[in-house]
């Protein structure tokens, strides 16, 4: 099974591409390891401020794990202890943007869900079809979908395994930006560059605070936001007043 996961850089943005277009970018165990290693590298590299995920070719973002690879596991315990490719994406400290088009199925759907922002072309098809095979996705689809689209929509998608198009995904809140085919990558790049231009302490603090809001109770979330704001002041070696927002002068007459 061939296929690679590659990383290129554009300024402070790392672009990760899943490259197996002849198989709709279906992931092999070797590609799992490449994703894990690249995510670890990105977390260590302070020059990378944002991360963009995409799939090679015109037909797919990612169709998930190559099911033929399941034959390579000796037993369920070997599968249980496999390299998990979603966890490294989910635990990236840097903001992540998915540029999605074509098929985003199973594990590919979970990669998009693990990112912070999703830009989808109108030709995108999302699905978590695992239930029809007798199992559920192990990469957090139930966790992320419930938080993004709510209990009912998550149950509908996960229990039926039905496919939905990008317009429906945008309507229910699974997708943040809906664009014409071919525009998903330029739009995602523009968003990534805009985020990468901000303070890394600020952007990573925002991500940590929002993830905390999803994971804990509101009182813990308030406390964490307060601590992260203090950290931003400390790292910048500024007083709160000196970091006042210098936005447009809304008091000026037109």
Give me the active site residues, please. Answer: 110, 130
Q: Which residues contact 184 (CB under 8 A, 6 or more apart)?
A: 54, 99, 100, 101, 119, 120, 121, 124
Asked if 65 and 108 touch (Cβ cutoff 8 Å), the reply is no
Tokens of 105: 């199925």
Q: How far is residue 156's CA from residue 152's CA, in Å, rounded to a whole number?
A: 6
Give buried/exposed letters for 137-168 (b at 16+ CB in 10 A, else e): bbbbbbbbbbbbbeeebbeebbeebebbebee
The DSSP code for 127 is: E
- Euclidean distance between CA atoms 164 and 166, whole angstroms: 7
Calculate the CA dihedral of residues 17, 19, 24, 29 and round it to 10 degrees.
-100
Between β-strands 164-165 and 177-179, what pairing exists: parallel, antiparallel or unpaired?
Answer: unpaired
**Separation between Cα atoms, residue 5 and residue 27, nearest integer Å:** 9
């Amino acid at each position: 099974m061939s296929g690679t996961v590659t990383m290129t850089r554009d300024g402070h943005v790392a672009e990760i591409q899943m490259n197996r277009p002849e198989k709709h970018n279906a992931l092999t165990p070797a590609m799992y390891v490449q994703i894990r290693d690249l995510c670890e590298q990105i977390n260590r590299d302070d020059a990378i401020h944002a991360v963009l995920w995409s799939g090679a070719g015109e037909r797919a973002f990612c169709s998930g794990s190559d099911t033929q690879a399941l034959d390579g596991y000796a037993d369920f315990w070997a599968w249980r202890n496999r390299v998990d490719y979603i966890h490294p994406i989910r635990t990236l400290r840097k903001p992540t943007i998915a540029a999605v088009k074509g098929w985003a199925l199973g594990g590919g759907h979970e990669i998009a869900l693990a990112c912070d922002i999703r830009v989808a072309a109108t030709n995108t098809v999302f699905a978590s079809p695992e239930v029809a095979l007798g199992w559920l996705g192990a990469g957090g689809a139930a966790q992320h979908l419930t938080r993004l689209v709510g209990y009912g929509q998550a149950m509908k998608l996960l229990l039926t395994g039905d496919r939905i198009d990008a317009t429906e995904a945008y309507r229910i809140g699974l997708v943040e930006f809906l664009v014409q085919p071919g525009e998903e990558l330029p739009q995602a790049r523009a968003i990534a560059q805009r985020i990468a231009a901000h303070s890394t302490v600020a952007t990573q603090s925002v991500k940590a605070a929002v993830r905390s809001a999803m994971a804990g109770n509101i009182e813990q979330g308030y406390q964490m936001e307060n601590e992260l704001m203090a950290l931003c002041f400390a790292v910048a070696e500024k007083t709160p007043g000196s970091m006042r927002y210098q936005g447009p002068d809304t008091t000026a007459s037109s």
